[in-house]
Amino acid sequence: MTVYLSRIAFTTIRATGSKCFSVKSLSETVSKKTLLLTGNNDLFCIARQYVVRGYTTDTIPPPAALENSSIPLKKKAVHKRPEVEDLTKKEGHYLTLAYATANAYDLKGLKNALVQQKLYEPAKLKAQEVGDVVVANAVYTVGDEPREIIFFREGAVVFWNCTELEANNVLDFVKLFELESYPRDVVEREKEIMSYVYQPNAKKCSLQESTFVLVPDRDNSLERYTFSHAMAQSARLGAWEAR
């Protein structure tokens, strides 16, 4: 009998519980607990009554289109390289060129070849000894201002008071001692162009726009090296970005 009553109670609870569900969609549901009286059996059950909330996207306004004309676009600043003619036409100004032509130079072989060529003679920086660099002075002078070339082991060369024609001849010469050469168009496109001038009233060397200011009647070899190294690094960075 007990088993029989249990079956009746289970059937009654299941029947009444099934009438308490109202599900129309899979939207957000909120459940509440409700006590139900099943009649003469005095049996109570706990059922869940679901309240379904419907949502629509029709009330969400679309994003407003932005007009390009109303938003000022910030243009990327383009670095304009100075022209050789603009720098050398100034009185008392001399040309300085920097090229990055390879990943590295064989400085020992380059120095020996310079001695055999007899157009340039290796020199040392008078201010202090600096390694990984070869300084070459032109044997034949043109005018009062000497010509100087500084080769860096990192594959860059800087010319002081040399024409572009002379620089191109030296670039052809140095190709024999290059390790992992760069394309020639990249070398030309990423070269650095500056000028230098001796300023009578200058107390120390400085940089003014595209011009190195040197102190006259004084040894500026260390300052030349510093300026050359900066130009060489700039040319190398440009060559790396262009490759």
Q: Which of 145, 146, 120, 123 is nearest to 133 (CA)?
A: 123
pLDDT 10s digits, 132-179:
899 999 998 888 899 999 999 999 999 999 999 999 999 999 999 999
Quick one: pLDDT at residue 72?
54
The answer to whether 87 and 62 are in contact (CB under 8 A) is no
SS3 for 124-187, per residue? Answer: CCCCCCCCCEEEEEECCCCCCCCCEEEEECCCEEEEECCCHHHHHHHHHHHHHHEEEECCHHHH
3-state DSSP call for residue 223? helix
220 pLDDT more than 80: yes
CA distance 53 to 24: 9
pLDDT 10s digits, 4-35:
444 544 454 454 444 444 444 444 444 444 44
Handedness of CA 229, 235, 238, 240 (dihedral sign): negative
Which has the minimum average pLDDT: 1-5, 81-85, 97-101? Answer: 1-5
0.85 cut: is pTM over it? no
Task: Dig out the tokens for 22 from the structure.
Answer: 């109202």
| Distance from the Cα of residue 110 to its chain's centroid | 33
- Arithmetic mean of pLDDT, 198-216: 90
Higher pLDDT, 98 or 50: 98
71 pLDDT more than 60: no
| Distance from the Cα of residue 113 to its chain's centroid | 37
Q: Which residue has the tokens 């249990």?
A: 6
Quick one: pLDDT at residue 170?
96
Q: Which of 158, 164, 162, 176 is nearest to 111 (CA)?
A: 176
| Distance from the Cα of residue 205 to its chain's centroid | 30
40 pLDDT more than 90: no
Quick one: pLDDT at residue 8?
45
127 confidence band (pLDDT: 50, 70, 90):
very low
Express as a percent the part of the chain with pLDDT over 70.
60
